[in-house]
Structure 1
Amino acid sequence: MKNSVVLVTGGAKGIGKGICDYLSNKNMIVVAVDIDEDAGFELVAANPKIRFKQADVTSESEMAAVIHEIHEQFGRIDGVVNNAAIANPYNTPLEDLDIYDWNKVISVNLTAPMIVTKLCLPMLRTNHGAVVNIASTRAVQSEPNTEAYCASKGGLVSLTHAMATSVGPDVRINCVSPGWIDTTNEELRAIDHSQHPAGRVGNVEDIAAMVFFLLSKESGFVTGQNFVIDGGMTKKMIYAE
């Protein structure tokens, strides 16, 4: 994967930043896109190997301009990581949920991955590239007042296998669903770790390593799949005692 060109949306912070750092350390050419320009500048200052483009992933024209610029500069895109999302899973109670707030979450979390993938397809087809969508374990489990976020992530899991079926065998498309991933490096409680069957809360490297594998040729027989990385929590039966 050395010198492969990978576009990472939502790459300036959190899991996206971890993915960008991980892939660049694997000698991949990483282009991070984020709407937060200040965070993007901080990303590049900390890791000058990463390129940064400020854009709104919900704007087809802005993303088309970014992808055209990548084509002009590098002549190729080998991988796409659709990570950009409105990360707060909570909305107002259902009876008060405003359609604007619903549509905003769906637009960023679900429609944007379709737009970005569509725009990158010509170069991805040429290079037999791969796409990784970042969903969430909330696609399969919920807390109260999380309708918009859960619907967007559940939709993204389904969108993954639909697109994989449409664009194979030239392009592979897979999905990663993180559980609790610590992106703050704040001190966590012992119970936070011990409640996980794996014995700890996840970190961004856990997600980035799977993303790297799914972009690589080693995963050449893997497409249309959703990989849950949650320390085993979605397999744990929990009842109130």
Structure 2
Amino acid sequence: MNYKNKTVMVTGAGRGIGRAVAMAYASEGAQVVIAELKREIGEKTAEDIRREGGKALYLSCDVSREAYVAAVVRQTVQAFGSVDILINNAGIASAHTAKFYELSVEDWDKVMNTNARGCFLMAREAAKVMRNNPDGGAIVNISSTRALMSEPDTEAYAASKGAISSLTHAMAVTLGKDGITVNCILPGWIETGDYSELREIDHNQHPAGRVGVPGDIAKACLYLTSPDNRFVTGAQLVIDGGMTRKMIYEP
């Protein structure tokens, strides 16, 4: 999978999954745009890529705001000439633990606007460019296994991720005629902190025998956006070590 001279935009690429995805594309020869709201961590990802000989540009972006999104896509085209791949990774879970009866409309809107609206806006603006590419383009939306199953008091986050999954298959149908594939990944437990601090039970409860790492998601992005895999569109790829297929009974 050689991505030399391909322009890849990754939102929320300052840390965790987004950072790993950006680094993976850069290592494959892509020129990567780090679309990140927080300048310090966004600049660090870009600098780390350049330090390793890759091409990267940091652009400040609030994905929930239409003007910001349009500007970052426009700046990307100005810098690199086009947009070939978009990874919609940016997201928040500020209301993730809010109790249902105390969940405010403001928190609900903040999560939905960042996660679902942001995904739509970025895809719409990037697709306007991709449809003029000789080879079209590819979009990957990062959803979550929370789109399929839940713990208590996670309504806003679950709803936003469910929206992303539905938006994915809708856009796949709409954008197919323009040569654009649209897929989504549903990560399970992907540890972005200190992996060494995880307990044995954390790993053993997964049928795969371990908790996931950001690199697991990066590899899937590379697969879904490869020109060799353009028959794959509208797909929802669950990457959770088998947890959503595990039958659990209370003791």
1:100 has 2:106 as partner: yes
Match of 1:175 among 160, 166, 184: 184
Q: Which moved more, 1:216-225 or 1:84-93?
A: 84-93
Q: Residues 75-114 of structure 1: matches in 2 within 5 Å? A: 75-88=81-94, 90-114=96-120
Aligned partner of 1:54 in structure 2 is 60
Q: Alpha carbon RMSD of aligned pairs, Å?
A: 1.2
* Partner AA of 2:223 in structure 1: F
User: Runs of at least 4 residues of structure 1 off by over 4 A?
Assistant: none
Q: Residues 1-241 of structure 1: matches in 2 within 5 Å? A: 1-48=3-50, 49=54, 50-88=56-94, 90-127=96-133, 128-169=136-177, 170-187=179-196, 188-241=198-251
- Point out where structure 2 has 5 or more consecutive residues left out of the alignment: none
User: CA offsets per residue over residues 154-185 of structure 1, 9 Å max, x none?
Assistant: 11000000011111132110000000011113
Alpha carbons 2:11, 2:34 under 8 Å: kept: yes
Alpha carbons 1:7, 1:81 under 8 Å: kept: yes
- Point out where structure 1 has 5 or more consecutive residues left out of the alignment: none
User: CA offsets per residue over residues 162-209 of structure 1, 9 Å max, x none?
Assistant: 011111132110000000011113321111111110111111111000
User: CA offsets per residue over residues 119-155 of structure 1, 9 Å max, x none?
Assistant: 1112211221000000000101101110000000011
Distance 1:46 1:73, change over 3 A: closer
Alpha carbons 1:91, 1:147 under 8 Å: kept: no
3-state DSSP of counterpart to 1:126:
coil
* Partner AA of 1:116 in structure 2: M
Q: How many angstroms does 1:89 deviate by?
A: 6.3
Q: How many angstroms does 1:47 deviate by?
A: 2.2
Q: How many angstroms does 1:25 deviate by?
A: 0.5
User: CA offsets per residue over residues 42-75 of structure 1, 9 Å max, x none?
Assistant: 2123222321111211111111111111111221
Alpha carbons 1:182, 1:202 under 8 Å: kept: yes
Aligned length: 241
* Counterpart-to-counterpart distance in 2, 1:25 and 1:89: 35
- Using the size of structure 2 for normalisation, the TM-score is 0.93
* Counterpart-to-counterpart distance in 2, 1:148 and 1:91: 10
* Counterpart-to-counterpart distance in 2, 1:189 and 1:87: 24
* Counterpart-to-counterpart distance in 1, 2:241 and 2:43: 32
Alpha carbons 2:94, 2:107 under 8 Å: kept: no
3-state DSSP of counterpart to 2:131:
helix
